Copies of this chain bind each other. A is one copy, B any other.
């Protein structure tokens, strides 16, 4: 038995196709495109790729996406000032600050920048008021990766109500919000993390297993209940050849990519899980494209809410 692959790329494409008409309708009604402002600080290669993907896909469906690129030497005050400008710009409906910020800004800087975003433009639901509304099951702007996970489950007809869901990882941006979204859809939810004992014993009870801990290939087949749906949120870059071979397997065509580039991106879920799970999201091509699709969906939603037009519906 081999698990079904949940094709996030194809599902994200359908979501974008659906959005295109709604974006055009907004543009006709408002006399301007929905506007997305992305702030990128520094020159991390991975962040640059993510941001480029967002800009490109946004443009493709008719969203006016603009990049505010700042040097790695930018001060917190300068970043807050950029956010302030976007807050004040009436053509900007949605603001995304790419994380992480450069290390020298310190551990508290990211949240300070998030706190400065106008909640009505908070496309990734990171301001405290939007996080609170998420808990209260009345969020307008739901964090994009968790929203993308729910959309993947919904569009592959995975039963959430009554299911046991286990989330590995308790981050602000994935673990906690996806746990709340699953809870509101009537799953019985367990949140595990680095301090959890007997992890595999708990995860192997899950009908839906969300791996969001950021460790390459960490979730082995012994962690997974036969037939479970496994959502792999990990995006881990592996640069060691032996590790790559171990994680990809001897016969993987992706070994050639590794040989060419010297690195490869893998998820948190080991390939052996394919032999027991019912369905698995691949990395790349699973949750990643859905996150971007949700950025676009939330941008349109913020634009419609700000202009008093019809909303595309609460995705929470």
- Tell me the bound Cα distance from A129 to B136 in angstroms: 11
Q: Counting CB contacts under 8 A, is A36 at the interface? A: no
With A111-B138, A128-B129, A186-B193 given, name 8 new contacts (CB 8 A): A128-B128, A128-B132, A131-B132, A135-B135, A135-B172, A136-B172, A162-B197, A170-B183
The reply to whether the CB of A233 lies closer than 8 angstroms to some CB of chain B is: no
Would you call B183 and A191 a contact (CB within 8 A)? Answer: yes
Report yes or no: B192 in contact with A188, Cβ–Cβ below 8 A. Answer: yes
Minimum CB–CB distance for A115 against chain B, Å: 10
Residues from chain B with a CB closer than 8 A to the CB of A133 are 128, 132
Given contacts A189-B190, A195-B188, contact A111 B136 (CB under 8 A): yes
Using CB atoms, name the residue of chain B closest to A175.
B183
Which residues of B sit under 8 angstroms from A170, Cβ to Cβ? 183
Judge whether A176 is part of the interface by a CB distance below 8 angstroms: yes
Please tell me which one of the listed residues B132, B186, B197, B202 contacts residue A135 in the complex, with CB atoms under 8 A apart. B132
Binary flags per residue of A127-146, CB closer than 8 Å to B gives 1, else 0: 11111111110100000000
Q: List 14 contacting pairs A-B, 8 Å CB cutoff, sorted by A.
A: A128-B129, A128-B130, A131-B131, A132-B134, A132-B135, A135-B176, A136-B172, A161-B195, A170-B183, A176-B183, A183-B193, A188-B193, A188-B195, A190-B190
Q: Is A252 an interface residue (CB 8 A)?
A: no
Please, which residues of chain B bring their CB within 8 A of the CB of A193? 183, 186, 188
> A206 to nearest B CB, angstroms?
11
**In the complex, what distance in Å separates the CA atom of A70 from the CA atom of B158?**
48
Interface of chain A residues 130 through 181 with chain B (CB within 8 A): 130-136, 138, 161-162, 170, 172, 176, 180
Instruction: Say whether, besides A127-B132, A132-B135, A136-B111, A186 and B176 are in contact (CB < 8 Å).
Output: no
